[in-house]
Amino acid sequence: MNIVCLDLEGVLVPEIWIAFAEESGIPELRRTTRDEPDYDRLMAYRLAILRERGLGLPQIQDVISRIEPLPGARAFLDALRERTQVVIISDTFEEFARPLMAKLGWPTLLCNSLDVAPDGEILGHLMRCENSKLTTVRALQSCGFETIAAGDSFNDLAMIQASKAGFLFRAPASIRAANPELPALETYDELLRAIVGAL
């Protein structure tokens, strides 16, 4: 049995931190896993900036409430879910992702959570497991699934490479150049055809 494992940000929805950086006028928050492969280091960097500016979860959730899925993402996801099982594996947080999941038709999402103070200050992040994307793919494989994976960032490479078929989707040139063996696709039609072809 097959299961498709998709990244969330950059694949189905815009990068949440980039949207927040633009709305808050803090360009330093534009850094994502496309720029920094060490997620703990990236989150420590982000949380330090939020603390300096007196910003917390309510301000981020306000921005997220206005984010829409990428054009064509919902139709792609619906078409894919008609053909096979799909799970979204993301390093985002349930406190961020819930409104986006509603707009995508409530697909299954495996992600992390935040430690938030009563006043909304984000104190830290709680990872579901170490190397969450690869660990999750390996766990699915251990219970009889063959995985097909797609993503756009450094933190997606392990799950893509561990799957029976894997694709880069709208990945930056640096990641495409460093991984020339991985098919690099740009449209949802291309990605749907590639995944269906690998089932």
Does the annotation mark 9 as catalytic?
Answer: yes
Strands 122-126 and 108-116: antiparallel
126 φ, ψ (degrees, to nearest 5): -115, 110
- Residues 6+ positions from 38 with CB-CB distance below 8 Å: none
Q: Please give the order of strands across the beta sheet that includes 85-93.
A: 122-126, 108-116, 85-93, 2-6, 146-151, 165-169, 184-185
Is the alpha carbon torsion for 38, 114, 47, 9 positive or negative? positive
CB 88 within 8 A of CB 107: yes
Q: Say whether 92 sits in a helix, a strand or coil.
A: strand
* Rounded Cα–Cα distance for residues 4 and 156 (Å): 13
Q: Are 187 and 169 in contact (CB under 8 A)?
A: no
Catalytic residue among 9, 15, 152, 156: 9
User: Annotated catalytic residue: which of 7, 91, 152, 156?
Assistant: 7
Does residue 16 contact residue 64 with C-beta atoms inside 8 Å? yes
Which residues are known to be catalytic?
Answer: 7, 9
